[in-house]
A = this chain, B = another copy of it.
Amino acid sequence: MDLQQMDEFAKKIIFEAGSRIRQAFSYNLVIETKSGANDLVTNIDRETELFFIEQIKAFDPTHKILGEEGMGEKVETLDGVVWIIDPIDGTMNFVKQHRHFMISIGIFVNGVGKLGYIFDVMREDLFYGIAGQGAWYNDSPLRKLQAITMEEAVIGINSHWVAPNRHIHHEKVIDMIRKVRGTRSYGSAAMEIAFVVSGKLDAYVSMRLAPWDIAGGIIIAQEVGAIATNLHGGGFDFLHQDTFIIANPAIHRELLEKYIVPYE
């Protein structure tokens, strides 16, 4: 497995997909609802996933692709080389804001994360990591995350989880927002994960993420020392939906023990 070669190929198709998406803004978007009003999907989402599938299959037909739009084959194990792809993370931002949406790709070899990419399409900003070799933001190496305190932390969390909900104790979330320096919410999991691995946020939590939302980021996370788990502190399940937290290592445990506490 030549990681160097695969890394070059992945970057090439990510930049090309980004360029195609930016061009597509000159056409009209055809917006449909997938499973409800909050789950917008566009023709560009699907075309981008198809583009990735065609390119990857031409590169190596044995590679498997698990994509958000489900246009690849059905992936039931992480045996072999598996690309986990979100062609556009942050579809609502894409449609409404024409910014703040990401291409997210994680490449796993026999279940082990090897290459991770989060690409801010409109800024042409690439966050990426190579297992055991480090992580980069464009041409600059990303540093290991420096320890911070809760009082200094800025947390990515959606306002839904501050209200009573069936997933986590919202009154503990309220304790958290009164303790930390600030909170943010951007509407793209991949963007918030990219911000955590680059120290622009100190944690991000979500109650229901799919593998393609986090696969790219989790590989970058390892290289900078960010800790990513589900809300029970265990490994994220890469073949299903799961809860998710990624945090600066100095506050991950405190967040799970005191502030982001699931029912049951």
Residues of A bordering B, CB below 8 Å = 37-38, 92, 96-99, 123, 151-152, 154, 157-160, 162-164, 174, 177-178, 181-187, 195, 199-201
Contact = CB atoms under 8 A, between A and B. Distances in A.
A187 B182 contact: yes
Contact of A185 (B92, B98, B185): B185
Contacts of A187: 154, 182, 184
Nearest to A38: B181
A200 B159 contact: no
B195 A92 contact: no
Number of copies: 2
Nearest to A174: B163
Query: Most B CB atoms within 10 A — which of A92, A160, A184, A195?
Result: A184
Contact of A162 (B97, B162, B184, B186): B162
Contact of A96 (B37, B158, B200): B200
Contact of A186 (B123, B151, B186): B186
B177 A163 contact: yes
Nearest to A155: B159
A92 B182 CA distance: 9
A159 B164 CA distance: 13
Contacts of A154: 92, 96, 187
Contact of A97 (B92, B99, B183, B200): B200
A168 to B, nearest CB: 14
A97 B195 CA distance: 8
Contacts of A98: 200
B186 A184 contact: yes
13 contacts: A37-B181, A92-B182, A96-B154, A96-B199, A98-B200, A159-B177, A160-B177, A162-B163, A163-B174, A163-B177, A183-B185, A184-B186, A184-B187
